Amino acid sequence: MCGACVGSFLGSCCVSVSSRVCCGSCRRSNGTDVERGNRTDETNASARAVDADARSMASWRGKYAVVFVVLAFLTWILRDAASPNDIAEAFDWGCAKTDASRSCGHELAVRMGLGNAMFFGLMLIVTAGAIESKRDSLRVRVNEGFWIVKVIVWVGACVGAWALPLDDYDSLVNFDRFFAASFLLIQLIVLLGWLYDLNDKLMSGIDDDEARGSSQSLYMLLGASAFSYGAAVTLLAFLYKLWAPSSDCSRNIAIITCMFIVCILFSIVSLNARVNGGLFTSGAMTFYCMYLVASAMSSEPAGYECAPNTTDGDLQSILSFIGFMFGLCALGLTTLRASSHGAFVGEGECSDDPSSRFGVSYFHFVFFTASSYCAMLFVDWTDGSSAQAAGWPSVWVKVTCGFFSGGLYLWALVAPLVLPNRDFGN
């Protein structure tokens, strides 16, 4: 995992041996200075190599993310602005038949997700076991370069997914649901890691500001915490007003209230000085959990008596748009961070080099699961058998994810107390 560091060490040894052969008498007089100079040069060269590797890694990761988002927007346009029925008739999809129970927009989104999954499945096989630091590896070069060829293959996989016969459409939807749920798990862990990293940076900034007599980081931390809790409370009132208009809506009241209690619980626990938490992380997680509940409530069938009704569907359109944009942001954050996150791939001995522990194949696995998640995001986790845009399967998936998120964060807070013999400092 530390090929770059090993190479640097061997290079240093070669320099040292050459110095002994050619300048033996000189080294006896000023060997310490020469050795110190060699170490300084090697350190600077290693730092420059690390920076170059980090820029290269960010570059190709960004390219994959950009193409992925572009295809996501293309799917959105083809589903809503174009005519998916014409595409279905051209490729003889099952939704184009007179007795079909699903819409062609639903099948288009699922097939686009299949095309993305096929491409990243291929890249997962090609880069299996490849490590970013091994620059001379053919698999690493294929991963970083040949972009014209890869884009052609990528688009070809999406078009090929349009042409594939799908005799068992329900199995494909269940396949997407499984890997979409896997992506949600990755997304949650990465989100927690990102919140902790951001909180640590702000806390470090507070210490630095105290030395300079400033309070900028403190105000930023307090402002971010207040904004997170304010947005969560606003969303909570929004939920009670629209989805729990009367005491007859006991199911919605129970879901919203139980989530609110969970959020209060981990917010109180985070104030304990012995846990690794804070108001900012708890506020952000409170908003995230309440958002998941709001997204679940918006997926309730239109005929449900406790679902808000509008004359022109404006409310559902607004919530769908917010959910889509939030999903894209989550996709970007997760796919760009999870693939190199220490919680998944290990730290390695040379943690100052981000490429020394970077598993390329894991990056493509994250995108593989994100392909299924994106497909489910467009069809709201339904199988297309209902004319409604959403339904109870979508509701319970999101509710489960919300409570799992709150439970996992609560465990992250209390774990140092429950397991005092383990080191949770990192």
Query: What amino acid occupies position 279?
Result: L
Q: Is 86 exposed, middle or buried (0-12, 13-18, 19+ CB in 10 A)?
A: exposed
Q: How far apart are CA 297 and CA 308, in angstroms?
A: 10
Query: What does the block give as tokens for 104?
Result: 């062609």
Is residue 132 helix, strand or coil? coil
Overall average pLDDT of the 88-113 stretch: 84
In the chain, domain spans: 47-418
pLDDT band at 292; cut points 50, 70, 90: confident
Residue in the structure block whose two tokens are 């009241």? 253
The model's pLDDT over 363-380, given as tens digits with 9 standing for 90+, comes to 888 899 989 988 888 887
The model's pLDDT over 103-153, given as tens digits with 9 standing for 90+, comes to 888 889 999 999 999 999 999 998 887 777 676 778 888 888 889 999 999
Say yes or no to pLDDT of 165 above 90.
no
Q: How far apart are CA 121 and CA 115, in angstroms?
A: 10
Query: What does the block give as tokens for 388?
Result: 């409604």
Higher-scoring residue by pLDDT: 61, 328: 61
DSSP string, 293-342: HHHHHHTS-TTSTTS---SS-HHHHHHHHHHHHHHHHHHHHHHHHGGG-H
DSSP state, residue 359: B
Q: What is the pLDDT of residue 396?
A: 86
Task: Quote the percentage of the chain above a pLDDT of 70.
Answer: 70
Q: What is the pLDDT of residue 10?
A: 28
DSSP string, 238-285: HHHHHH-SSTT-HHHHHHHHHHHHHHHHHHHHHTSTTSS--HHHHHHH
Q: What is the pLDDT of residue 149?
A: 92
Closest by CA position to 307, among listed 406, 389, 234, 382? 389
pLDDT band at 352; cut points 50, 70, 90: very low
Q: What is the pLDDT of residue 356?
A: 42
pLDDT band at 27; cut points 50, 70, 90: very low
Q: How far apart are CA 416 and CA 83, in angstroms?
A: 55
pLDDT band at 59; cut points 50, 70, 90: confident
Q: What is the pLDDT of residue 361?
A: 81
Overall average pLDDT of the 287-296 stretch: 88
Query: What does the block give as tokens for 320?
Result: 């769908």
Q: What is the pLDDT of residue 113?
A: 93
Overall average pLDDT of the 68-77 stretch: 87
Q: How far apart are CA 33 and CA 36, in angstroms?
A: 5
Q: What is the pLDDT of residue 323?
A: 63
Q: How far apart are CA 298 and CA 308, in angstroms?
A: 9
Mean per-residue pLDDT over the chain, rounded: 75
| Least-confidence region, from 117-121, 191-195, 283-287 | 191-195
Higher-scoring residue by pLDDT: 420, 108: 108
| Least-confidence region, from 70-74, 178-182, 273-277, 313-317 | 313-317
Higher-scoring residue by pLDDT: 286, 141: 286
Q: Residue 103: count other Cβ atoms within 10 Å of its Cβ.
A: 19
Say yes or no to pLDDT of 205 above 50.
yes
